[in-house]
Amino acid sequence: MTKIDCEKLRQDFPILDQLVNDEPLVYLDNAATTQKPAQVLQALENYYKTDNANVHRGVHTLAERATASYEAVRQQVADFIHANSSKEILFTRGTTTGLNWVAHFAQEILQPGDQVIISIMEHHSNIIPWQEACRKTGAKLDYVYLKDGELDLDGLQDLLSSRTRFVSLAHVSNVLGVVNPIKEIAQMVHAVGAYLVVDGAQSTPHMAIDVQDLDVDFFAFSGHKMLGPTGIGVLYGKEELLEIMSPVEFGGEMIDFVREQTASWKELPWKFEAGTPNIAGVIGLGAAIAYLTQIGLDQVQAHERDLVNYLFPKLQAIPGLTIYGSQDLAKRTGVISFNLDELHPHDVATALDYEGVAVRAGHHCAQPLIHHLGATAAARASLYIYNTKADCDKLVEALLKTKEFFNGTL
């Protein structure tokens, strides 16, 4: 396996080459959104410069070129996540939209007394759509909690019953960085006849995904967290489920025939894509997938693992620094959330920014988890392919400086 040549790869990311507060930028907010390589920026520019036209409508050359490029990316996505067919790939605005669409489908199925299971480590995008679906149908929303900073699989097993209709879980938590054993969970969920929905926002950018091997029913992710543009995402669904699922949005593009009182839908996947889609976003996503595929997802994962193995003990050695989630590094990705002494994480993040280090601070759109951890907020460093051990050293050095500065004033 060829290791990532970070020095060389960083040349593709012009944004990284800048000073922030007179310090070289160390970008460690990749779980929020990643930077875009020149290849993605170029693909967007080329599309608008040479091919821009609406898709699936025109017969002129530009329209056919735009449509061909758009649909080629659908196949590329299907190959990337090992879907059975490109019919199973729906373009969305992002993970949030995908999860909302599935929860909308759930509203058509759920009966009073049915059960939906999610976990305490979910992002709000995988909580609120289910709260709404349960509120509207009279179904019950139950939570799986944590054991040793990981998902409590025994707790999940105890909750599963013949009334369980949907289980919706993050593949990787955006706060704890822990990887949930989705393949094993799929067996447990299917054994009671329920559907498994997976929020792949924090896994797809960082590891090879095979939706058939995982045997998930639905899988949602966002382009902007994997080097692609914002505003584009994917919802994968097993074909037989997408066939019975109703469209969520109605309008142009998604219809076959419209009469005064009725309309009929196009076949999969187009029945879900009402209106002019984010064509440039799809093209950019295709370029991002090509970039990641060329590196190899195994190399991406190995690089991040290397960084985590290097950084984690250094963070653990900082007195007063609390790291959330499992201490078992084999089960973690490059997302590390922490608090330092009694300092507010916003102060920590601001102090780090003075040193050029970009981290996120707050509740990370996971308030139930933050509350469950007994915190009000946390700081979070999240790594990606262009981060180096020098970036990790800079984070540690900046944290020590922050500690020294505030302890002097506490």
Q: Determine which residue in the list 34, 69, 76, 96 makes contact with ligand C6P, applying CB under 6 A.
A: 96
Q: Which of 6, 134, 365, 392 is catalytic?
A: 365
Q: Determine which residue in the list 36, 74, 104, 123 makes contact with ligand C6P, applying CB under 6 A.
A: 123
Which stretch, 16-24, 71-79, 120-128, 343-351, contacts ligand C6P (CB under 6 A)?
Answer: 120-128
Nearest distance in Å: CB 166, ligand C6P: 16
Closest CA to 30 of 297, 358, 375: 358
In sequence order, the β-bridge partners of residue 178 are 332
Q: What are the C-alpha distances in Å from 69 to residues 172, 173, 232, 284?
A: 31, 33, 15, 11
Full DSSP string of 156-195: HHHH--TTEEEEEEESB-TTT-BBP-HHHHHHHHHHTT-E
In sequence order, the β-bridge partners of residue 150 are 147
Identity of the residue, 31 or 385, whose beta carbon is nearer to ligand C6P in the bound complex:
31
Identity of the residue, 114 or 130, whose beta carbon is nearer to ligand C6P in the bound complex:
130
Identity of the residue, 222 or 388, whose beta carbon is nearer to ligand C6P in the bound complex:
222
Closest CA to 366 of 176, 191, 222, 205: 176
Identity of the residue, 76 or 95, whose beta carbon is nearer to ligand C6P in the bound complex:
95
365 is catalytic: yes
Q: Determine which residue in the list 30, 35, 69, 95 makes contact with ligand C6P, applying CB under 6 A.
A: 95
Dihedral Cα 365, 371, 372, 374, nearest 10 deg: 130
Cβ atoms of residues 63 and 55 within 8 Å: yes
Q: What are the C-alpha distances in Å from 139 to residues 5, 104, 115, 116, 306?
A: 51, 13, 6, 7, 44
Q: Determine which residue in the list 360, 378, 384, 394 makes contact with ligand C6P, applying CB under 6 A.
A: 360
Nearest distance in Å: CB 112, ligand C6P: 28
- Give me 392's structure tokens: 């990790």
Full DSSP string of 220-245: EEEGGGGTS-TT-EEEEE-HHHHHHS
115 binding ligand C6P? (CB under 6 A): no
Q: What is the DSSP letter of 325?
A: S
Identity of the residue, 94 or 286, whose beta carbon is nearer to ligand C6P in the bound complex:
94
94 binding ligand C6P? (CB under 6 A): yes
Site string for ligand C6P, 218-237 (x = CB under 6 A): ----x---------------
- Give me 149's structure tokens: 């900073």
Q: Where are the beta strands (DSSP E) in 83-173?
A: 89-92, 115-119, 140-144, 146-147, 150-151, 164-170
- Give me 283's structure tokens: 């093209």
Q: Determine which residue in the list 34, 67, 100, 125 makes contact with ligand C6P, applying CB under 6 A.
A: 125
Site string for ligand C6P, 152-171 (x = CB under 6 A): ------------------x-
325 binding ligand C6P? (CB under 6 A): no
Nearest distance in Å: CB 371, ligand C6P: 16
Site string for ligand C6P, 168-207 (x = CB under 6 A): --x---x------------------------x-xx-----
Identity of the residue, 32 or 400, whose beta carbon is nearer to ligand C6P in the bound complex:
32
Measured CA to CA, the distance from residue 356 to residue 270 in angstroms comes to 45
| Residues of this chain, 236-265, that bind ligand C6P according to CB under 6 A | none
| Residues of this chain, 19-58, that bind ligand C6P according to CB under 6 A | 31-32
- Give me 27's structure tokens: 């970008």
> Which residues are part of the catalytic machinery?
365
Q: Which residues make up the interface to ligand C6P (CB under 6 A)?
A: 31-32, 94-96, 123, 125-126, 170, 174, 199, 201-202, 222, 360, 364-365
